[in-house]
């Protein structure tokens, strides 16, 4: 019991207490200076009429809906590619995984330079290929800014998806694939009827991870787009940050945090249920 004490104190002080306090504060008008006043559920009522937050949530959902399948497909393709028991295949595994150990912030600063108008290598490469001018600021257009962020995150995260899916694929016994081959199944049939169903638990895990990560996106947009152009790339966490730490409405920010947590909980639970149910059919 004594051995659990340090963990209990830390989790209590820096997790459970702040969690309860988030709920408590969300019922207050809570400026950073001055005294807080109880206002009931007004923060929550306000949140539902808040156009900025609504737009941020919509943008976050859009980002999640776009990046999740891309990540899944790229990760799956990489896993299928390096799924060979050879030394070279393992070298490629290692290479594709390297960006995973780089922080998202570092990756974002790197991308910021690489896509910088004029001086960045990729806009210059695009100009060479006859695809636009190197001096076009790709961060100034909502669509290209969004694409840059997506490409950066895929580069950084795909290796992790590859690794998880690969470990899932490798836990499928070889005999099962052999049996399918003997029964005359082609590559596509083996994939559709054996690999995919047996991989379902791993797919569920990868999906939940990437959806949760995308719904909480902050670093990449804060660093690369600063939420711009014209606030078009502000995510939910970004908006909560602005409300709490730029406008200093701590109570309102907490209410938004609670709402975000609820959305995240519902989405994660839905994915779990969905993947479990289709398992039974």
Partner 1 sequence: MTSTSISRPHAARAGKAASRRGILPTGAWWVVSVCLAVIFLYPLYILVTQAIKSPAEAAATPPTAFPQTFSLQNFVDLGVSQGGLSLLSSLGNSALVSILTTVITVVVSTLAGYAFARLPFKGSRVLFFVTLITFMVPFQAIITPLYLTLKDIGLQNNLVGLSLVLATFNLPFGIFLMRNSFSAIPASLEEAAMIDGATALGALRRVMLPIAVPGIVSTALLTFFAAWNEFFATLILITDQSKYTLPVSLGILSAGQNNSVDWGLLEAGVAITVVPCVVIYLILQRYYVAGLLSGAVK
Question: Which residue in the set 37, 133, 167, 278 belongs to the binding site for partner 1 (CB under 8 A)?
Answer: 167
Question: Which residue in the set 140, 245, 273, 276 belongs to the binding site for partner 1 (CB under 8 A)?
Answer: 245
What three-state secondary structure class fits 129? coil
Smallest distance from the beta carbon of 275 to partner 1, in angstroms?
Answer: 15
Verify binding: residue 19, partner 1, rule CB under 8 A: yes
Smallest distance from the beta carbon of 278 to partner 1, in angstroms?
Answer: 20
Verify binding: residue 180, partner 1, rule CB under 8 A: no
The site for partner 1, by CB under 8 A, has a size of 96
Residue range at the interface with partner 1 (CB under 8 A); choices 46-54, 60-68, 141-149, 215-223: 215-223
Residue range at the interface with partner 1 (CB under 8 A); choices 41-49, 65-73, 100-108, 138-146: 100-108
What three-state secondary structure class fits 230? coil
Among candidates 217, 215, 218, 204, which has minimal Cα distance to 266?
215
Verify binding: residue 186, partner 1, rule CB under 8 A: no
Report the residue number, 187 or 274, with the smaller CB distance to partner 1.
187
Report the residue number, 85 or 281, with the smaller CB distance to partner 1.
85
78 Cβ neighbours under 8 A, 6+ residues apart:
96, 158, 159, 161, 162
Verify binding: residue 121, partner 1, rule CB under 8 A: yes
Q: In the range 21-80, which residues lie near partner 1 by CB under 8 A?
A: 21-22, 25, 78, 80
Smallest distance from the beta carbon of 94 to partner 1, in angstroms?
Answer: 6
Q: In the range 122-161, which residues lie near partner 1 by CB under 8 A?
A: 124, 134, 155, 159-160
Q: Where are the beta strands (DSSP E) in the chain?
A: 28-29, 37-38
Question: Which residue in the set 41, 52, 62, 170 belongs to the binding site for partner 1 (CB under 8 A)?
Answer: 170
CA atoms within 13 A of residue 199's CA, in its CB half-sphere: 23
Whole-angstrom CA distances from 107 to 97, 126, 155, 157, 209 are 14, 21, 9, 11, 19
Burial of 44 (0-12, 13-18, 19+ CB in 10 A): middle
Which tokens belong to 42? 């007004």
Verify binding: residue 104, partner 1, rule CB under 8 A: yes
**Cα–Cα distance between 134 and 123 in angstroms, integer?**
5
Place of tokens 């941020």: 56
């Amino acid at each position: 019991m004594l051995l659990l004490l340090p963990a209990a104190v830390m989790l209590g002080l820096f997790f459970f207490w702040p969690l309860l306090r988030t709920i408590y504060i969300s019922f207050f008008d809570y400026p950073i200076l001055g005294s807080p006043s109880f206002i009931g559920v007004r923060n929550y009522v306000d949140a539902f009429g808040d156009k900025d937050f609504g737009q941020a949530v919509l943008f976050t959902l859009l980002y999640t809906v776009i990046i999740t399948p891309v990540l899944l497909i790229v990760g799956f393709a990489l896993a299928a590619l390096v799924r060979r028991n050879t030394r070279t295949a393992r070298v490629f595994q290692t290479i594709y995984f390297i960006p995973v150990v780089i922080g998202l912030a570092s990756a974002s600063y790197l991308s910021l330079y690489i896509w910088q108008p004029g001086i960045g290598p990729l806009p210059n490469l695009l100009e060479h290929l006859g695809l636009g001018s190197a001096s076009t600021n790709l961060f100034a257009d909502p669509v290209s800014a969004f694409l840059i962020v997506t490409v950066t995150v895929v580069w950084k995260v795909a290796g992790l998806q590859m690794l998880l899916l690969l470990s899932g694929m490798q836990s499928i016994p070889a005999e099962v694939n052999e049996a399918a081959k003997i029964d005359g199944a082609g590559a596509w049939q083996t994939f559709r009827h054996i690999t995919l169903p047996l991989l379902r638990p791993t797919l569920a895990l990868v999906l939940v991870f990437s959806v949760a990560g995308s719904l909480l996106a902050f670093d990449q947009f804060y660093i690369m787009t600063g939420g711009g152009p014209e606030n078009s790339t502000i995510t939910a966490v970004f908006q909560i940050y602005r409300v709490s730490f730029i406008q200093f409405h701590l109570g309102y920010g907490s209410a938004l945090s609670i709402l975000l947590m609820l959305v995240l909980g519902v989405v994660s639970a839905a994915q779990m249920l969905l993947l479990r149910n289709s398992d039974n059919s």
